[in-house]
Amino acid sequence: MKKILSLLLALALLLGVAAAEETAPALQKNLVILFTSDVHCGIDTGWGYAGLYGIREALSADNHVLLVDDGDAIQGEPIGTMTTGEAIIDIMNAVGYDIAIPGNHEFDYGMDRFLELAEKASFPYISCNFNKEGELVFQPYVIKEFDGVKIAFVGVTTPMTLRSSTVSSSTASCRMRAAKACTPPCRRLWTTPAPRARST
C-alpha cells in the first residue's frame, strides 16, 4: 500500500510540474539587453550613438531589444557643457533608450536642471534610493513585458552621488537612502537548494 501511495504522489508531482511548464509564459524570441555606462558625452567614442542605433535596429529584426543607460551620460564634453546636457538627452531620445539610471554626474548642472532634463527624456529615469524631502524623486523600478514574460529593472544610484558631483545648493534637501524595500513584486521562478547536511 505504501509503495502504491508513493507512486501516486510521484505521479501527481510530475503532472503538476508538467502543467506549470505548459502554463508558464516563454519568450518567443531572444531578449537582448544593450547598456551604456559612463559615456560622458562621448557621442563619437567607440561605436558612437549612431553606431549604437544601427546595432539596435539590426538586432531588433529578430530579437526583443532593450537599451539601458547606467548613468553619467550628460556631462564630460563641450556638447554637454554648452547645452547643460540637453543635446545628449535629445540624442538618447533619438536612439531609443528604454530606461536610464542617474549617475553622480547627472547632477553636475544642478538638481533643478537635471529634473528638467528628466522631463524632456522620452524614457524613464528610475532610482529606488534618490529622494528629496523624504519622497522618492523617480519610480524605483520599471517592469517590461515580452511575450507574457515580465522583466524588472531596479534603479540604484551610487550612495556617494551628492558628494562626488559638482552639485549646487539646490540639492540640500536631497538624500541617497539605503536601497531597501524597493524590489518589484516579481514571482520567484526558482528555489534555493536546501543546505547539505554535514557529516560528523
| Residue 99 belongs to a domain | yes
pLDDT score recorded for residue 10: 52
Residue 99: give its domain's CATH number. 3.60.21.10
Average pLDDT by consecutive 10-residue portion of the chain (200 residues)?
48 50 78 96 91 96 97 95 97 98 91 94 95 88 95 87 55 50 52 46
Indicate the number of domains in the chain.
1
The model's pTM = 0.75
pLDDT score recorded for residue 153: 96
| Residue 97 belongs to a domain | yes
Q: What is the DSSP string of 147-178?
A: TTEEEEEE----TTGGGSS---GGGTTEEE--
| Residue 101 belongs to a domain | yes
| Residue 9 belongs to a domain | no
- What grid cell was written down for 129? 534610493
d(C-alpha 128, C-alpha 97), whole Å: 19
> Which range of residues forms the domain containing residue 40?
26-176
